Amino acid sequence: MGNPGEGSDRAWNLDFRAASVRKRSGGGGVFLLSATPAKNSPLEFYNLLQLVDPKLWTATGITNPEAFISRYMQVELRTVLNTAMQAQDRGAVVGFRNLDELRDLLFRYADFKTADDVGLELPEPKVKVVEVDMDDEQEGLYDDYSAQIEEALASDDPTEKRAILGLLARMSLVSIHARMEGMDWRKAQKAKVHADSPKFLACARRVLANRHCGHIIFCDNTAAHWWMRQVLVNQGIDPERIAILNAEMAKTPAERQRIAEAFNGNPDEEVAPLYDVVIANAVAYEGVDLQTRTCAIHHIDLPWEPATLQQRNGRGVRQGNTLDTIGIYYYFARRSMDGLRFNLIQGKRGWLTQLVKSQDRDTNNPGAQSEMGAEDVLLLISRDPDKTRKLLEKKKAAEVAKRRRELSDAAGNILRAVDTRFRRAERASDPAEAARLRDEAGGKLAELAKWDRDAWPWAEWMYVVRDRPVAVAPSTDENPASANMPVYEGMRLATPDAYDPEKLRFAEIGRLWEFSGVERVSLREAGSAAWSERTLEEFAKTLGLGPDALRVPWPVEADAELDGTILASVKRRNSPYTDPWPGLNWRARASEAFLSRAWDVGGLELLRLMAAVRSSHVEKYQKLPVIEGTGLVVLSGPAAKGRRVLPFTETGWREFLERAPRSGLRFTELNEAASYWWGRRLPRSLLADARREAAA
* pLDDT at residue 149, rounded to an integer: 79
Phi, psi dihedrals of residue 376, rounded to the nearest 5°: -60, -35
Phi, psi dihedrals of residue 675, rounded to the nearest 5°: -70, -45
Domain with 80 in it? 9-107
Pairing mode of beta strands 124-132, 294-299: unpaired
Please state, in angstroms and rounded to a whole number, the distance separating the CA atoms of residues 83 and 377.
Answer: 12
* pLDDT at residue 70, rounded to an integer: 84
* 456 found inside a domain: no
- Count of positions (residues) in the chain: 696
Instruction: Examine the domain organization and report whether 197 and 244 are in the same domain.
Output: yes
Please state, in angstroms and rounded to a whole number, the distance separating the CA atoms of residues 501 and 337.
Answer: 50
Instruction: Examine the domain organization and report whether 606 and 583 are in the same domain.
Output: yes
* pLDDT at residue 157, rounded to an integer: 78
Please state, in angstroms and rounded to a whole number, the distance separating the CA atoms of residues 160 and 169.
Answer: 15
* 525 found inside a domain: no
Please state, in angstroms and rounded to a whole number, the distance separating the CA atoms of residues 260 and 263.
Answer: 5
Please state, in angstroms and rounded to a whole number, the distance separating the CA atoms of residues 177 and 191.
Answer: 13
Instruction: Examine the domain organization and report whether 74 and 143 are in the same domain.
Output: no
Determine the 3-state secondary structure of 406 from DSSP.
helix
* 358 found inside a domain: no
* 379 found inside a domain: no
* 490 found inside a domain: no
Please state, in angstroms and rounded to a whole number, the distance separating the CA atoms of residues 113 and 7.
Answer: 29
Distance from CA of residue 344 to its chain's centroid? 20
Instruction: Examine the domain organization and report whether 206 and 150 are in the same domain.
Output: no
* 319 found inside a domain: yes
Amino acid type, 400: V
Instruction: Examine the domain organization and report whether 336 and 224 are in the same domain.
Output: yes
Please state, in angstroms and rounded to a whole number, the distance separating the CA atoms of residues 280 and 225.
Answer: 7
* pLDDT at residue 345, rounded to an integer: 67
* pLDDT at residue 210, rounded to an integer: 92
Number of domains in the chain: 4
Instruction: Name the domain boundary from 318, 348, 378.
Output: 348
* pLDDT at residue 598, rounded to an integer: 97
Cβ atoms 337, 376 nearer than 8 A? no
* pLDDT at residue 51, rounded to an integer: 86
Instruction: Examine the domain organization and report whether 248 and 331 are in the same domain.
Output: yes
Instruction: Examine the domain organization and report whether 194 and 164 are in the same domain.
Output: no
Which residue stretches of 222-349 are H helix?
A: 222-234, 253-264, 306-313, 338-348
* 517 found inside a domain: no
Instruction: Examine the domain organization and report whether 226 and 322 are in the same domain.
Output: yes
Instruction: Examine the domain organization and report whether 596 and 630 are in the same domain.
Output: yes
* pLDDT at residue 163, rounded to an integer: 76
Instruction: Name the domain boundary from 315, 330, 348.
Output: 348
Q: Identify how many contiguous H helices and E strands the chain contains and give both numbers.
A: 27, 17
The single-letter DSSP state of residue 460 is G
Please state, in angstroms and rounded to a whole number, the distance separating the CA atoms of residues 323 and 276.
Answer: 15
176: CB partners within 8 A, 6+ apart: 197, 199, 219, 221, 224, 300, 301, 333
Instruction: Examine the domain organization and report whether 149 and 197 are in the same domain.
Output: no
Instruction: Examine the domain organization and report whether 83 and 144 are in the same domain.
Output: no
Counting as low any pLDDT under 70, the low residues of the chain are 1-7, 35-36, 38-41, 76-94, 115-116, 161-162, 340-341, 343-385, 388
Cβ atoms 328, 128 nearer than 8 A? yes
* 119 found inside a domain: no
Instruction: Name the domain boundary from 348, 378, 413.
Output: 348
Cβ atoms 512, 469 nearer than 8 A? yes
Instruction: Examine the domain organization and report whether 90 and 140 are in the same domain.
Output: no
525: CB partners within 8 A, 6+ apart: 505, 506, 507
- Is the pTM here over 0.85, yes or no? no
